[in-house]
Structure 1
Amino acid sequence: MQTILGANGQIGAELTRYLHDHVTEDIRVVSRRPARIHDTDEPVVANLMDADATADAVQGSEIAYLTVGLPIDSALWEQQFPVMMANVIAACQKHGTKLVFFDNTYMYPRTSQVQSEDTPFQPAGRKATVRAAMATMLLREMDAGTIEAVICRAPEFYGPGKTQSLTNSAVFDRIRRGKRPVVPVSAHTERSLIWTPDASRAMGLIGNTPDAYGQTWHLPTDPDRLTYEQMIGIASDVVGHRIGYTTVREPVFRLGGLFNRSVKEASELLPRYRVDNVFDSSKFTTRFPEFSVTTYREGITAILG
C-alpha cells in the first residue's frame, strides 16, 4: 500500500497516475474530499490537522507521500503546516511507514547563487519561515534515525490541468484565454521551472528507490533555463502570432497589495524574480540518467497547443 496525503492537487493526481502505471495499484488517496482517479484507488477522508485521523490514514502503508498544499495565506500556513508535518511524522513513526515529503524552495536565499541540495536555509518572510521549519523538523528526525524519509524539493511549477503557480496564472493561463501575459518583476532573469508531471514522476521514482532515502533531492528541471521573454517567444511560435507582455514591477505589486489580499500574499515571493533562479538538479539526473525531462518548449506546447 502506498498512500498520498493531499491527493487532490495536481502533484498528488499526477503521482497517483505514476504509481498506478509503474509501481502498484494498491494506492490510498487521502484528503478532506478525496476523489478516485482509478477504480482501484482507495479514497480516505482525513484532516491532517487531526493526529488520530492522520495515523489512521497512514496505517498499513509502506510509503506515504506528503503532497498537501494550502492557499497562499501566511497565517494559514503558520497555523496548519507545522501541525500537519508533526502529525504525519508521528503517524509514519507509529506504523513504520516510509515518508516522502514534497518540498519547495522558499527557504533558500533570494540570490542568483546556484541552489543545490546543500544550500543553507535563509528564510525571508513568513511563508519561507514556515517551510524552513517544516523541512528542519523532518531533517531532525531523519538525522536522529527515528524515521525513514526523503525530501523531494521542487522550484516553481508550470504545467497542465490544475497546476497552480504565479507563472501559470500570470503568463500561460492568460495566453490560453487570449489575454496579454503579465510578467512579475523582470522578463530578463532566467527561471528554473518544473513541469508538474515531471515532479510527480520523479518523486514516485525516488520514493520507490530504497537507497534514495535519508537524503534531500532536487527534482529534475530543464537545465536550459529561459527568461519569461524567451518563454513567451516560444508561446508565440506555438499559437502562431506574436504575443506581447506587460512587466509588473514590485512597487505596483505593493500598491495592489493594499487593496487585494492575494496580491499582498504573493508580494513576499517577488524578490525571487529580480535575479536568475538557478536550481541545480544534477544529483537527480546523475542518479537517474534514464529519466526524460520535459523541455520548456515541450511543456509550453502541451499547455497551449
Structure 2
Amino acid sequence: MQTILGAGGAIGIELAKSLTAYTSKIRLVSRNPKKVNDTDHIISADLGERAQVFEAIKGSSIVYVTIGFPYKLKIWQQQWPKFIKNVIDACIEHNCKLVFFDNIYMYDPNFLDGMNEETPINPPSKKGKIRVEIAGMIMEKVKKGELEALIARSADFYGPNIKNSSILTEMVFKPLSTGKKANWMASLNYKHSFTYTPDAAKATALLGNSSQAYNQVWHLPTAKNPYTGKEWIETIAKEMGVKPGIQVASRLIVKIMGLFIPIMREMPEMMYQYDRDYVFNSDKFDSHFNFKTTPYLEGIKEIVKSDY
C-alpha cells in the first residue's frame, strides 16, 4: 500500500494518477477524500490528530506527504512541526518509507540563481524557518538510521486545474481570463522558474519507488531557461488571445490584494523571491533518471485548455 497524506491538493491528485505505474494499492487520505483512480482506497481523517495519522499510515510501504496547511504563518507554526513528528513516529512504528514534498523557502536568498540541493540554508522568512525545522526533523532520523526517507523539492508550481494554490494562476491566468491586468510582484525583469505539477507528481512517484533515491534531497525536474515576469505574462496572454495588461505589485499593493485573494495575504515576506533571479536547478534528478520535462510553453498551453 502506498499512501498519500493530503490527497486532495494539486500535487496529491496528480501523484495518485502517477502512482498507478507502480501499484494498484493506493490510499488517499484527507478530510474529504475522493477517488482519483477506480481502485483507490480512501480514508477520511483529521491529520492534525496523532491517532488518526497513525491509523492512516498503518499498513503502508511508502507514505507521501503532500498536505498543504492553510497558508498562514500562525497555522504553520502550530501545525507543521506537530504533524511531521507524528508522521515520522508513525512511519518508524509501522516500518514504512517517507517521501516529503517540500519547497525552497529555506534557501539563502543570495543563492536563488541556480539553486540546487547544495544551496546554503539561511531562510529570510518565518515560513522558511519552519521548513528548515521540519526538514531537519526528517533528516535527523535518517542520519540516526531510524527512518528511510527522501525530500523532494519543487520550485513554485504551475499546472492545469489548480484552483487556489498557485501564484501564477492567481496573479496571471485568472486576471487575464476575466479581462483584468495580470499582476507580478516586485519586478518584471527577473527570471522565475516554475515546476509543472504533472512533472512534479510523476517524478515524486518515481523517486518513491526507486530504492537508491532514499536518504537524500532531490530537486524535482523543472524546465531550464525560465521566463522573466514580463515574458511569463506576455506568453500566457498570447496563448489566451488577450492583451498582456500588466500591473507590478509593490508591497502595499500585495497587502491590498490580500484582502480579496487569500494566498496573497501572506506574500509580503516572500517578495524577495521576485526581486532577483529565481532559477531552479534539477540537474541531479536529470542525470539520474530518463525523464522528459515539460517545456514552459507546452505547460502554458495545457493550462489554457483547462479550467485553471
TM-score, reference length from structure 1:
0.94
In angstroms, what is the RMSD of aligned CA positions?
1.8
- In structure 1, stretches of 5+ residues that fail to align are none
1:107 positional shift: 0.8
Structure 1 residue 39 corresponds to structure 2 residue 38: yes
The answer to which of 7-16 and 168-177 deviates more is 168-177
3-state SS of 1:175 partner: helix
Cross-structure match for 1:175: 176
Cross-structure match for 1:189: 190
Aligned CA distance change for structure 1 residues 257 and 69 (closer, same or farther; 3 Å) = closer
Answer yes or no: is the 8 Å Cα contact 1:64–1:100 preserved in 2. Answer: yes
Q: Deviations over 1:101-123 (max 9, x none)?
A: 00001111123443111122112
Structure 1 residue 276 corresponds to structure 2 residue 277: yes
User: Taking every aligned residue pair, what percent have the same amino acid on both sides?
Assistant: 39
Q: Which amino acid aligns with 1:78?
A: Q
1:53 positional shift: 1.3
C-alpha distance in 1 between matches for 2:23 and 2:200 = 18
C-alpha distance in 2 between matches for 1:65 and 1:208 = 11
1:37 positional shift: 1.3
1:49 positional shift: 2.0
C-alpha distance in 2 between matches for 1:35 and 1:260 = 26
Structure 1 residue 78 corresponds to structure 2 residue 77: yes
C-alpha distance in 1 between matches for 2:109 and 2:296 = 23
1:260 positional shift: 8.6
Cross-structure match for 2:142: 142
Cross-structure match for 2:23: 24
Q: Which amino acid aligns with 1:124?
A: P
Cross-structure match for 2:294: 294
Task: Write out aligned runs for 1:106-117 (5 A).
Answer: 106-111=105-110, 112-117=112-117
The answer to which of 193-202 and 175-184 deviates more is 175-184
Aligned residues: 303
Q: Which amino acid aligns with 1:129?
A: K
Cross-structure match for 1:154: 154
Answer yes or no: is the 8 Å Cα contact 1:257–1:267 preserved in 2. Answer: no
Aligned CA distance change for structure 1 residues 249 and 152 (closer, same or farther; 3 Å) = same
Answer yes or no: is the 8 Å Cα contact 2:71–2:266 preserved in 1. Answer: yes
Structure 1 residue 62 corresponds to structure 2 residue 27: no
1:46 positional shift: 1.7
C-alpha distance in 1 between matches for 2:185 and 2:295 = 22
- In structure 2, stretches of 5+ residues that fail to align are none
C-alpha distance in 1 between matches for 2:255 and 2:239 = 33
1:297 positional shift: 0.3
C-alpha distance in 2 between matches for 1:262 and 1:19 = 29
Answer yes or no: is the 8 Å Cα contact 1:100–1:152 preserved in 2. Answer: yes
Cross-structure match for 1:223: 224
1:14 positional shift: 0.2
Q: Which amino acid aligns with 2:5?
A: L
Q: Deviations over 1:4-25 (max 9, x none)?
A: 00000010000000112x1111
C-alpha distance in 1 between matches for 2:253 and 2:219 = 33
Aligned CA distance change for structure 1 residues 256 and 176 (closer, same or farther; 3 Å) = closer
Answer yes or no: is the 8 Å Cα contact 1:6–1:31 preserved in 2. Answer: yes
Answer yes or no: is the 8 Å Cα contact 1:63–1:100 preserved in 2. Answer: yes
Answer yes or no: is the 8 Å Cα contact 1:100–1:150 preserved in 2. Answer: yes
Aligned CA distance change for structure 1 residues 51 and 248 (closer, same or farther; 3 Å) = same
Aligned CA distance change for structure 1 residues 256 and 7 (closer, same or farther; 3 Å) = closer
Answer yes or no: is the 8 Å Cα contact 1:231–1:296 preserved in 2. Answer: no
C-alpha distance in 1 between matches for 2:278 and 2:101 = 19
Answer yes or no: is the 8 Å Cα contact 1:176–1:304 preserved in 2. Answer: no
1:279 positional shift: 1.3
Aligned CA distance change for structure 1 residues 114 and 45 (closer, same or farther; 3 Å) = same
Aligned CA distance change for structure 1 residues 186 and 90 (closer, same or farther; 3 Å) = same
3-state SS of 1:77 partner: helix
TM-score, reference length from structure 2:
0.93
Cross-structure match for 1:304: 304
Cross-structure match for 1:103: 102
Q: Which amino acid aligns with 1:266?
A: M
